[in-house]
Structures are given as structure tokens and as C-alpha cells.
């Protein structure tokens, strides 16, 4: 197979895999209700199976292994009556993040480098081992819910001050579910206002935690920016707020740091006149001769379509010069 056809097939795989990952992510964000719906669980299982099969066909072993591990875990959900708790949701999301990270690397300018991919898989292995072990515990009724009545030491006065309200987790979860439903609706000023109202509700759930409030404020600003579509906002905002909530439940004193992706969404949109002028003027960038630094500059300056075109031109140039 020539390089052009190979690149085209990889492109098809990436687009299909992104759709399958969307299915998995939506299912994981609604996991407590999804596990009661066999068809929804089966959708996630089939999505992971499809990514595994496509990756195996193209020789992307790291993607194949990771998708296979998620597929096996979804199979447990299919075949057993599992009670979902916060720990299980967190473990599943970490596994999903690994799969998404590998796919993001695949569609990057240098593709999925074998050594880097193997490091990613190895780093995620403890998470998948813990996920498999915890699913077995839940199947036998020996998970966290079964040990909830075990005696625990009384907190110190300092620890008591840091404890979350017992309503924090269910209120966050309920609010995020409502936001997810709004994100699925048509983009209008009214629906954006509803999303911002939900952010205000989240803001006051932990009034003593400045990092939680700052994360909610950044999410609110990202939603307020009309240049950000719901399709772009939903996976970023919902995921970050959900993970922050999980972290706070494990350690109320932890520092929550917004991801670069979320921070990118709050950048101010330039005035219309400046945008028009910029569009009419060819964009210029300065590159160093060091390949890694040059690649970083290019990725930041170009959009995905331009990157694909650049990769094509570079491949042609490399063939002609060899």
C-alpha cells in the first residue's frame, strides 16, 4: 500500500475512533444511570471493540491494548449487576483518558511514536489493574459500599474544618447532568445563560475552597465566550468539574489546576476589525532549526486542516529529496 492510501486509511480510522470515544465518554459521564440500561452499556462495549479492531488492523498496538482493556471492563458491566460509586467512575475515566491521549498523539504532527506510546500504556497499567480488581470486588459485594460501616477514626478539629458537605458530591453530579442536557440543545443566548446559572450554583457548593471557585469561574468564562461551540465546551467543562469534584472528595485540601485546554477556551476574542485584518494578511511565524521546538511552534500556530496539509507537503518533499 502506498503512503497516500495508508495516510487516508489512518485518517478514516481517526475520525471513526473519535466518534467511538465520544460514545464512551458520554456513557462514563452518566455511568450510574447507564449501567441500568443494557443497550447503553452495549454501545460503550461496541465502541471500545471497534477501536480495538481498527487499531489492530493498522498495527497501533498501544491503542489496541488500551481499547481491549476498556472493552473487557465494559463486558463486566454487561454481564453483572454492578453498583457504581465515585471510585469506579474515576477509574473508568482515567482509562478513557489514556485511550484519548493515544488517539490525540496519533493525529499529531509526528503520529503515534512507538516508544512514547509504550510509556503511556505502562503509566496507565496500574490504573487498569486497579479497575479490574475493583470491579471484581464490586461483583462479590466487597467494594467500598460493603465496608462503609467499618469504624473510622474521628477527625481532628483541623480535619473537620476541611470536610466537604455530605451534599457536595450529589449536588455536583446533579448539576453536571443538567448542564450536559443543556449542552445537547441548540446553541442560543438563553441556553448559555442556563449553563452560566448552573456554574453559579456550583460556585457556592464549596464556599471555603478558592481553587474550586476559580475552576468554576474559568468554566463560566469559557461558556460565556460565543466563539466556543457546545460541542467543544461540553467534554472539557463537564470532565474537569467532575474530576475536580472527585479530587475534593478524596482530599479536601488539594489544589485544583485548570487544564491548558480549558484555559485556552477563555481567551478573549479579538475585535471584528482585527480579525478581518488578520485574515487578509498572511500569517508569519519564526521557526528554530531544532526540530522539536519548531514542531511545537507549528502545532500552536496551525489548525488541524493546515497541519494535515503540511504533513502531506513534508512527506512529498522528503520523498523527492531522497
Residue with the larger pLDDT of the pair 61 and 147: 61
pLDDT bin (cut points 50, 70, 90) of residue 291 is: confident
For residue range 28-56, list pLDDT tens digits in order.
989 999 999 999 999 999 999 999 999 99
Q: Which three cell numbers, joined as nine digits, stand for 219?
A: 468554566
Instruction: Output DSSP code: residue 145.
Output: G
Residue with the larger pLDDT of the pair 3 and 59: 59
Residue 35 — φ and ψ, nearest 5°?
-65, -15
Spatial separation of the C-alpha atoms in residues 84 and 27, rounded to whole Å: 13
Q: Cell 489546576 sits at which residue?
A: 257
Domain ranges of the chain: 3-145, 160-264, 277-321
- Angle in degrees, CA 221, 252, 146, rounded to 5: 120
- Looking at residue 202, what is its pLDDT? 93
Q: Is the pLDDT of residue 91 over 50?
A: yes
Pick the closest to residue 97 from 216, 254, 242, 300 (CA basis): 242
Spatial separation of the C-alpha atoms in residues 5 and 106, rounded to whole Å: 16
> Mean of the pLDDT values across residues 295-304?
74
Residue with the larger pLDDT of the pair 108 and 71: 71
- Looking at residue 146, what is its pLDDT? 42
Pick the CATH number of 3-145 from 1.10.569.10, 2.70.70.10, 1.20.120.160, 2.60.40.10: 1.20.120.160
Q: Is the pLDDT of residue 257 over 70?
A: yes
Instruction: Output DSSP code: residue 208.
Output: T
Q: Cell 480488581 sits at which residue?
A: 133
In order of 6, 145, 157, 197, 277, the CA distances from 84 in angstroms are: 41, 10, 32, 28, 53
Pick the closest to residue 70 from 131, 18, 148, 122 (CA basis): 131
- Looking at residue 74, what is its pLDDT? 95
- Looking at residue 148, what is its pLDDT? 42
Q: Is the pLDDT of residue 147 over 60?
A: no
Amino acid at each position: 500500500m502506498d503512503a497516500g492510501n495508508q495516510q487516508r486509511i489512518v485518517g478514516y480510522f481517526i475520525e471513526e475512533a473519535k466518534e467511538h470515544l465520544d460514545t464512551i465518554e458520554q456513557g462514563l459521564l452518566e455511568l450510574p444511570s447507564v449501567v441500568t440500561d443494557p443497550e447503553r452499556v452495549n454501545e460503550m462495549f461496541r465502541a471500545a471493540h471497534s477501536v480495538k479492531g481498527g487499531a489492530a488492523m493498522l498495527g497501533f498496538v498501544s491503542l489496541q491494548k488500551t481499547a481491549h482493556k476498556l472493552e473487557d471492563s465494559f463486558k463486566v458491566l454487561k454481564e453483572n449487576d454492578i453498583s457504581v460509586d465515585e471510585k469506579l467512575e474515576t477509574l473508568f475515566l482515567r482509562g478513557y483518558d489514556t485511550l484519548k491521549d493515544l488517539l490525540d498523539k496519533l493525529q499529531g504532527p509526528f503520529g503515534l511514536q512507538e516508544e512514547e506510546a509504550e510509556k503511556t500504556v505502562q503509566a496507565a497499567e496500574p490504573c487498569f489493574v486497579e479497575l479490574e480488581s475493583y470491579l471484581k470486588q464490586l461483583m462479590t459485594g466487597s467494594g467500598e459500599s460493603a465496608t462503609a460501616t467499618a469504624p473510622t477514626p474521628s477527625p481532628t478539629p483541623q480535619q473537620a474544618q476541611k470536610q466537604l458537605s455530605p451534599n457536595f458530591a450529589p449536588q455536583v453530579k446533579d448539576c453536571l447532568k443538567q448542564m450536559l442536557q443543556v449542552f445537547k440543545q441548540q446553541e442560543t443566548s438563553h441556553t448559555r445563560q442556563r449553563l452560566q446559572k448552573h456554574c453559579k450554583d456550583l460556585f457556592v457548593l464549596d464556599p471555603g475552597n478558592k481553587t474550586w471557585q476559580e475552576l468554576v469561574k474559568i468554566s463560566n468564562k469559557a461558556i460565556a465566550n460565543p466563539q466556543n461551540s457546545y460541542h467543544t465546551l461540553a467534554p472539557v467543562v463537564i470532565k474537569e468539574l467532575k474530576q475536580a469534584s472527585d479530587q475534593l472528595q478524596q482530599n479536601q485540601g488539594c489544589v485544583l489546576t485548570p487544564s491548558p485546554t480549558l484555559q485556552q477556551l477563555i481567551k478573549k476574542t479579538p475585535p471584528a476589525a482585527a480579525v478581518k485584518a488578520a485574515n487578509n494578511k498572511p500569517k508569519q511565524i519564526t521557526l528554530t532549526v531544532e526540530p522539536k521546538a519548531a514542531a511545537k511552534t507549528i502545532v500552536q500556530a496551525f489548525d488541524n486542516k493546515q497541519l494535515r496539509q503540511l504533513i502531506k507537503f513534508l512527506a512529498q518533499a522528503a520523498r523527492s529529496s531522497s
